[in-house]
Amino acid sequence: MAELHLSELVTDFLEHLEIEQNRSPKTISNYDHYLQRLVEFAGDCDIAKLDAEMVRQWRLHLNRTKDVSGNELTKTTQNYHLIALRSFLKYLAKRDITALDSAKIELAKTVRPQVTFLETEEVQRLLEAVDTSNPIGLRDRAIIELLFSGGLRVSELVNLNVTHINLDRREFMVRGKGQKDRPIFISPTAADWMDLYLKSRHDDGQPLFIHYSGSQDSAEGGMYTRLTVRSVQRLVKRYATAAGITKDVTPHTLRHSFATDLLINGADIRSVQGLLGHANIATTQIYTHITDPQLKAVHEKFHGRRA
């Protein structure tokens, strides 16, 4: 029987993700990165040699691997490698290629990350830190309002076009992870700031949020290119510092704040799951600590009431 080399099968798998699964270029790139690490470790061996013992040794190798900054790979990052491997093995099974059973790939236990979010007063301070007397400030205020009001991922935000937004209905659709569409709803305040920002634009470019070249004084001219994820991350951090917020504030912090605000004000976890676009309710449950004070209040109100 002819050998089936690991690298060739990985290439087939990535093409399968692109064509049959219609996965995003980012997802395919990530899977490629993780599986190429396996190929580098195992060598371009026959798939039959990829057994449980080799996977055990690879996991040990990943646990001892350091990134470019000299830091060890986190358990979460190591699990991303294993998730990619598991998907790869499932693909091989569908093609009736004899290989290691994907069910034998167990993920490492991880500590649930602590969610950082902003209190209502901190969100207000962040918004007020923006100087809205110029087009750049109007853009930045609109960005922060939209991140907090809509709970968008930063990647979803930068991919928006002007034509995607409906300010009259205050709702629109975004395409999130897994190429899944979901509705985004925004507050009247967020819609008002979006309107002010769009009225300050004097171009016919498609991107909703643009990078103004040159200084603020020359913001009316120059090139209009789509704002990048990194640019949004930098501006959010800059305004958080200006507002005197000591927390590490990122665009995702505003997404956490959006979810937290919903739960504190009585939204149920399933609705929050839908608004965030989480495929699995377990992902949304990182916010359940928010409801703990409410549970305590219910307990004190309804349990053990003795004269």
Catalytic amino acids?
153, 177, 252, 255, 278, 287
Give dist(CA 271, CA 8) in Å, integer: 43
String of DSSP letters for 95-163: TT-----GGG-PPPP-PPPPPP---HHHHHHHHHTS--SSHHHHHHHHHHHHHHHH---HHHHHT-BGG
Give dist(CA 81, CA 290) in Å, integer: 31
Element (H, E) at 173: strand 171-175
Give dist(CA 26, CA 127) in Å, integer: 31
Q: Which are the contacts of 151, defined by CB distance < 8 A and separation ≥ 6?
A: 184, 255, 258, 259, 275, 276
